[in-house]
Amino acid sequence: MAKMTKESDDPEQEKETLRKRIMQRVYYAAKDGFCTQLLASLREIGNDDDRRAIVDQEFYEDEHQIHTPLIVAALNGHHMVVKILLTIAQPNLEKEGCVKLHGELTEGVTALWVAAGMGRLNIVKLLIQHGAEVDHATRKGSTPLRAACFDGRLDLIQYLIEHKANVCAVNAYNNTCLMIAAYKNFPEVLQYLLENGARVNEQAHCGASALYYAAECGHTEICSTLLDYGAVLMRNTYGLTPALAAAERTREAVVQVFLNRAGLLTKEEQIEVMELLGASYANDKDNYSLVKAFHYLLSAMELRYEDPENIIRKPMLAPVPAYEYWVECQTLQDLQAIRYNHNSLHMESLTIRERILGRHCPEVAHSIVFRGAICADNGRFDRCESLWLHALGLRQLNGLSVQRDLLRFVQLFSQEFSINETIRFETMISVLRACVDELRFNQQKMIDPGPRDDVEAIAEDYEMNIVTVLYLLTIITKLLRLERFERTDEQTQQVYQLIYQLNQMAVRLRDDQTLVHLAVNGVTPVDDFHTDDVCRFPCVDTVKMLLKCGASVDVVDAERNTPLHTLASTLQMAVLRMADVDVRAVVKEITEIFIEAGIHLDAVNVDGLKASQVCVQNTVAAFIRNYEMRAINLRCLAARVIAQHRISYRGLIPRQLESFVQQHCTPKS
């Protein structure tokens, strides 16, 4: 009774509560296709403006999606719901939302864009008949026509174009609908777009045209149609034409389309395309064929010597050490001489690929990595290291992510260590240096990203690179303990200098864990491809090396946990990886190392707990407390008193003491 009296005393609140209930009922009726419930709810609203405001209300769904009743009805294909909303509520047809479609979250979508993207022709017709803007683009410039092209819905595409959709519209990357049809291999859609004025030679910001996408994907019919409509072989930003792109991807049938079309390629271009096709066949993971490789390399060489009066010579480039300083064959005799020598053909082909594609092309490296992997499988670890280092250098030269390359090296080193294979310290130093360079590059990119940089992806790479460099340091510590491991004092000093640089860079995960935290963390993830045979945490030697090279022992993470807090609180997982007695010995040794390095054992985390208080094992907690009692001093006692009694101290004591006191206080102190 009291509640009723209160509500009657506040009619505005009661009205707002009722409005929210109606709004919820309208949305979920639209979402689930309940027409009767929707009609009843809409009729409860007497005012047209209120009705329109309610149906334009935004609702937040999973994965950052934002829907309105109209958008969600279009998304779920509820034709009658859309019709009711359009007829009774007159919603804002250009109201934008955020929808996940084809695995991608798209911002700025309208109900028409969603209906087109989902292939709902009947809903598209309804929306356009009620005045929906046919070219309303998303935040990144995608129109309903582009959304329809993605699934190749010719009926939808025809309807949209008949209702004045711009066939030449481009998105934020200057991609066109024609490019989608070419990439996705929709011949009928492509033909219809061309017949209705689509520009055949439009280029995306990366320089790729519709012909380039079709050639790269191996769509022979699409390529022929585009050439019939006047497509030309334009180069992308890396200097690749559609013909070269097809050759690089071993799209033999497409390459033949280009070679056989009269007047399309010059003699020099034909040679280049055939050489690249042959070279790619010799080092392609999915389409490896030395028979085809030699066939095309021979055909190209024969074309070079076709006119004895005008022989087309190969350019002479500096030999690449990773390719065993290979010099390309210059004559038919040279090429015939290596026909049955597989290694020679592989090196010839890698050399040709780098010459034609250029050192700045991102496609160069993958064949080098593939050849290196084959060498490793055959026990030629030295050759693998050389090839992978070259690929790593090329990728870093061009500012490409090398996260996988670095992890791949760690896996290789782990495998070599496990089978007692010789590991070349110089290679490890080169990889460690690359790790430092990459982490520094990641940091710079996160602070000052470029217009095309994906900051979230860079942050992911950064975190994975931090863990990878931890693996690498752990492997190095194990090698340095081996008397038989060959290294010089100068090399060891180089390693220490690089680790010092890492510590100076203060690399941290999102939760602010440092390398020292990770080195003692029992739940630090360990890659399971050979790496977990060598790397286990907590690791005493890794901690020692980090501290020796300048790491701080009093660093804290986002929860103000010191490395000792992290060690103590993650022991349960460590026990699963090693014997209980081993864990206790490791904890004892690391704790003593931390004490020697000057850690404050009574430092508290954000919850006001010391390391001994977060420890999950009683015996370990007891001896940490024992160390606490022995290590206590007057300064620590004074700081605790300030914390316990919540005495103000900021600005009242020397600044250098404030951080010391803070170690003993919770944030609320």
Digit-coded pLDDT (tens) for 124-138: 999 999 999 999 999
Residues of 132-159 as b/e, b for ≥16 C-beta within 10 angstroms?
bebebbbeeebbbbbbbbbbbbbebbbb
Percent of the chain at pLDDT > 90 equals 72
Domains of the chain: 16-166 (1.25.40.20), 172-265 (1.25.40.20), 269-400 (no CATH), 633-669 (no CATH)
Instruction: Name the DSSP letter for residue 323.
Output: G
pLDDT at residue 657, rounded to an integer: 66
Q: pLDDT class for 4, splitting at 50, 70, 90?
A: very low
The pLDDT of residue 654 is: 67
Give yes or no for a contact between 322 and 390, defined as CB atoms under 8 angstroms apart.
Answer: yes
Please give the model's pTM, rounded to 2 decimal places: 0.87
Sign of the torsion formed by the C-alpha atoms of 247, 250, 254 and 259: positive
**Per-residue pLDDT at 635 exceeds 90:** no
| DSSP tag of 265 | S
Over residues 410-430, the pLDDT tens digits come to 999 999 999 999 999 999 999
Residues across the chain: 669
Q: Which residues of 252-277 are buried (b: 16+ CB within 10 A; e: fewer)?
A: bebbebbbeeeeebeeebbbbbbbbb
pLDDT for the residue numbered 21: 86
Measured distance CA(39)–CA(88) in Å, rounded: 9
- Is pLDDT above 90 for 242? yes
Q: How far apart are CA 95 and CA 114, in angstroms?
A: 12
Q: How confident is the model at residue 644 (pLDDT cuts 50, 70, 90)?
A: low
What is the rounded CA–CA span in Å between residue 521 and residue 511?
Answer: 13
459-473 pLDDT, tens per residue? 999 999 999 999 999
Say how far apart CA 405 and CA 392 lie, in whole Å. Answer: 6
For the residues 141-151, what does the mean pLDDT come to?
A: 96
Mean pLDDT lowest among 77-81, 175-179, 424-428, 633-637: 633-637
* 578 phi and psi angles, rounded to 5 deg: -145, 165
Which SS3 state, helix, strand or coil, does residue 122 take?
helix
Q: State how beta strands 59-60 and 104-109 pair.
A: unpaired
Report the 10 Å Cβ neighbour count for 307.
10
Compute the mean pLDDT over every residue in the chain, rounded to the nearest whole number: 90
Question: For residue 7, what pLDDT is reported?
Answer: 46
At residue 641, does pLDDT exceed 70?
no
Cα 39 to Cα 51: distance, rounded to the nearest angstrom: 12
Inter-residue contact 426 to 491 (CB < 8 Å) = yes
Of the pLDDT bands very low, low, confident and very high (cuts 50, 70, 90), residue 579 is low
pLDDT (0 to 100) of residue 662: 60
Residue 578: pLDDT over 80: no
Concatenate the DSSP letters of all residues of 557-592 into one string: -TT---HHHHHHHTHHHHHHHS-HHHHHHHHHHHHH
pLDDT single digits (tens) 419-458: 999 999 999 999 999 999 999 999 999 999 988 888 999 9
How many C-beta atoms surround the C-beta of residue 479 within 10 A? 20
Mean pLDDT confidence for 389-402: 96
**Within a 10 A sphere around the Cβ of 244, how many other Cβ atoms?**
28
Judge contact between 182 and 213, C-beta under 8 A. yes
C-alpha dihedral sign at 391, 392, 393, 394:
positive
User: Which tokens is 444 given?
Assistant: 């710079």
CA dihedral over 579, 585, 587, 590, signed as positive or negative: negative
